[in-house]
Each structure stands twice: as structure tokens, then as C-alpha cells.
């Protein structure tokens, strides 16, 4: 049994390590978002601070004017962040 496990590890360790690293990064992000949750502005606050960011296609990043990406945060709601300049824009609390 251990032998076949070793063969499996031999063949797929690159893949397994890759997925584990990805899972770790996602988990860390969730943790960071949850911890800093109240430090993110709400959607209303963000739009009040950057009135030009509400466009017909949705809210855009204040820095680079590109469309924000949505990331769900377990137990908290959703966070809108800019994938281009890697900045967090605002939070939407869970209803």
C-alpha cells in the first residue's frame, strides 16, 4: 500500500505541491481579509471618496480605472479588489 502511495507521490508531487501552495495562498488571503475587514471602506464610502468610479459597467479602480474583481470572503461578504494594481477597493457586507 505504501509502495503505491510512493509511486503516486513520485508521479504527481509537482501537482500536489502546486495545489497545496495555491490552497495556502487562498487561505491566507481569506484570513487577511477577515482580519482587516472593517478597515476596508464600504461601497458607499468608496464611491463618496471617488465619485468618478461608478461607471455604467460597474465600479472601477480609482488608481488605474480598470474594472474591479470580486472575491468572496467566507462569513463576511465580498471584497472588491483591483487585480491590475493589486489594491483593495471596498467591501460588501454579507446581507
Q: Which residues bind Zn ion (CB under 5 A)?
A: 61, 63-64, 82, 84-85
**18 or 58, CB closer to Zn ion?**
58
- How distant, in Å, are the alpha carbons of 33, 39, 46, 77 from that of 27? 10, 19, 26, 15
Minimum distance from residue 45 beta carbon to Zn ion (Å): 17
Minimum distance from residue 63 beta carbon to Zn ion (Å): 4
**65 or 94, CB closer to Zn ion?**
65
Question: In 3D, which of 71, 73, 72 has the Cα closest to residue 86?
Answer: 71
Distance between CA atoms of residues 41 and 74, nearest Å = 18
**9 or 43, CB closer to Zn ion?**
43
Minimum distance from residue 85 beta carbon to Zn ion (Å): 3
The pair phi, psi for residue 92, each rounded to 5°, is -125, 115
Amino acid at each position: 500500500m505504501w509502495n503505491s502511495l510512493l509511486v503516486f507521490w513520485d508521479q504527481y508531487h509537482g501537482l500536489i505541491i502546486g495545489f497545496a501552495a495555491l490552497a495556502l495562498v487562498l487561505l491566507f488571503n481569506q484570513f487577511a481579509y477577515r482580519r482587516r475587514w472593517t478597515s476596508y471602506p464600504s461601497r458607499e464610502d468608496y464611491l463618496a471618496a471617488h465619485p468618478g468610479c461608478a461607471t455604467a459597467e460597474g465600479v472601477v479602480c480609482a488608481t488605474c480605472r480598470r474594472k474591479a474583481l470580486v472575491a468572496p470572503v467566507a462569513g463576511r461578504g465580498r471584497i472588491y479588489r483591483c487585480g491590475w494594481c493589486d489594491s483593495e477597493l471596498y467591501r460588501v457586507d454579507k446581507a
